A and B are shown apart, each in its own frame.
Chain A
Amino acid sequence: MTVKSQIDNESPGKRESKPVFLFVYSLLGIAFGIVLTRSEVLSWFRIQEMFRFQSFRMYGIIGSAIATAALSIVLIKKSTLKSASGEVIAIPKKTVGTGARYAIGGTIFGLGWALTGACPGPLFALVGNGVSVMAVAVLSALLGTWVYGFLRPRLPH
């Protein structure tokens, strides 16, 4: 598979979003920001507790989130429901390839996850929570993404 078709494969949905749906997405985003805060998964302390295996909490959260999402996906696939935007619901499968990009990229992400104590969603929610220095981490993450784009043709995938 070529690099280009891999990119297309990754793009989630190409239909233009109508304003009414953008409003829905903004509400869902607000809800998610509240959830990240109330669940405390945006906390560096919780991430440390998780990587030190000193509490069940984060594993309970991630595990039950996956279970809930998996059950929902099964139910949606069994039904003939279309999305509110009128599309047939389908989740594009990721291509495995050699698996190198997932193993290497994933490990690099994990290093950053433990150092910042935050993954991309929490980075933004932390800025909202008043940890304004995390705006610097957001800019660094953008730089990291750009540098990946620059190096992409030379990296194993």
Chain B
Amino acid sequence: MSTWLTAPWPWYLAGPIIGLFVPALLLAGNKVFGISSNLRHLCSFLLPGRLEYLRYDWKNVGLWNLVFLFGVLIGGVLAAHSGAPHNIAISSTTKAALTQLGLHDLSGVAPHEIFSWQALLTWRGFVSVVLGGFLVGFGAAYAGGCTSGHAISGLANFELPSLIAVLGFFAGGLAATYFILPHLL
């Protein structure tokens, strides 16, 4: 197997390939690339209750996207098992900053000291996984899209709502990075 399939990709290869998912989905079935709709479809399937937001034909609207999402999980399995185990080569300044915040182990795709079952019931594990996940779901639903739907599909289609949303993504991300993480880690 050639190494480019198993090694991390440079940004100028990764970016355009991600961008090509937009025309691929449009050309396949006139579908707009966006992952977070799936969270709504899954809620509609699992527990629609009497919420108007969740009472629609999720199979008709979203089965294609749920199938895509299931593929993402499988793709993660395939990639993890075919790639050489390695640490993420972040810049030395980021390493220093994270070490100063109190992380000792910078191996893996996510720090084990936060993202592991053992850490889940610690303060930083709980806030990062449980509260963080909740905010991702709530925020994406409220904003009507996430990184894929707004930052990629929306900005590529020159939509003002997506620009507002993406500025919000960064405002929230910077706030969490500079005001929450220093107290959390």
Question: Interface of A with B (CB < 8 Å)?
Answer: 3-4, 7, 10-17, 21-22, 24-52, 54-58, 60-70, 72-73, 75-76, 81, 83-85, 87-96, 99, 101-121, 123-134, 136-150, 152-153, 155
> Across the interface, do B133 and A136 meet the contact criterion of CB distance under 8 Å?
yes
> Across the interface, do B172 and A111 meet the contact criterion of CB distance under 8 Å?
yes
Contact mask for chain B residues 134-172; partner A; CB cutoff 8 A; 1 contact, 0 none? 111111111111111011111111111110111111111
For B181, list chain A residues within 8 Å (CB).
Answer: 114-115
Most chain A beta-carbon neighbours within 10 Å: one of B91, B116, B180 = B91
A110 to B146, CA, bound (A): 9
> Across the interface, do A29 and B8 meet the contact criterion of CB distance under 8 Å?
no
> Across the interface, do B14 and A61 meet the contact criterion of CB distance under 8 Å?
yes
> Across the interface, do B142 and A155 meet the contact criterion of CB distance under 8 Å?
yes
> Across the interface, do A112 and B71 meet the contact criterion of CB distance under 8 Å?
no
Smallest CB separation, B49 vs chain A (Å): 8
Smallest CB separation, A73 vs chain B (Å): 6
Smallest CB separation, A110 vs chain B (Å): 2
> Across the interface, do A109 and B139 meet the contact criterion of CB distance under 8 Å?
yes
A62 to B153, CA, bound (A): 11
Taking A81-B27, A93-B159, A112-B133 as contacts, is the C-beta distance between A125 and B75 under 8 angstroms? yes
For A41, list chain B residues within 8 Å (CB).
Answer: 14, 18
Smallest CB separation, B27 vs chain A (Å): 6
> Across the interface, do B133 and A101 meet the contact criterion of CB distance under 8 Å?
no
Taking A40-B109, A46-B88, A85-B30 as contacts, is the C-beta distance between A109 and B39 under 8 angstroms? no
> Across the interface, do A121 and B148 meet the contact criterion of CB distance under 8 Å?
yes
> Across the interface, do B20 and A72 meet the contact criterion of CB distance under 8 Å?
yes
> A25-B67, A137-B136 are known contacts; what are 19 more A-B pairs with Cβ within 8 Å?
A13-B30, A25-B31, A25-B71, A31-B75, A32-B21, A46-B88, A54-B90, A69-B22, A76-B26, A94-B162, A108-B143, A110-B139, A110-B174, A111-B180, A112-B172, A113-B172, A113-B173, A119-B36, A120-B36
Q: Which residue of A lies closest to B170 (CB)?
A: A110
Taking A112-B136, A148-B138, A149-B51 as contacts, is the C-beta distance between A30 and B180 under 8 angstroms? no
A-B contact pairs, 21 of them (CB 8 A): A26-B70, A30-B74, A32-B21, A32-B68, A32-B71, A34-B76, A44-B110, A70-B156, A83-B29, A93-B159, A105-B144, A107-B139, A116-B132, A133-B116, A133-B125, A141-B140, A145-B43, A145-B141, A149-B40, A149-B54, A150-B51
Q: Which residue of A lies closest to B46 (CB)?
A: A142
Q: Which residue of B lies closest to A55 (CB)?
A: B91
> Across the interface, do B151 and A66 meet the contact criterion of CB distance under 8 Å?
yes
Taking A38-B8, A66-B151, A76-B26 as contacts, is the C-beta distance between A141 and B137 under 8 angstroms? yes
Contacting residue for A106 out of B11, B18, B63, B167, CB 8 A: B167
For A69, list chain B residues within 8 Å (CB).
Answer: 19-23, 33, 152-153, 156
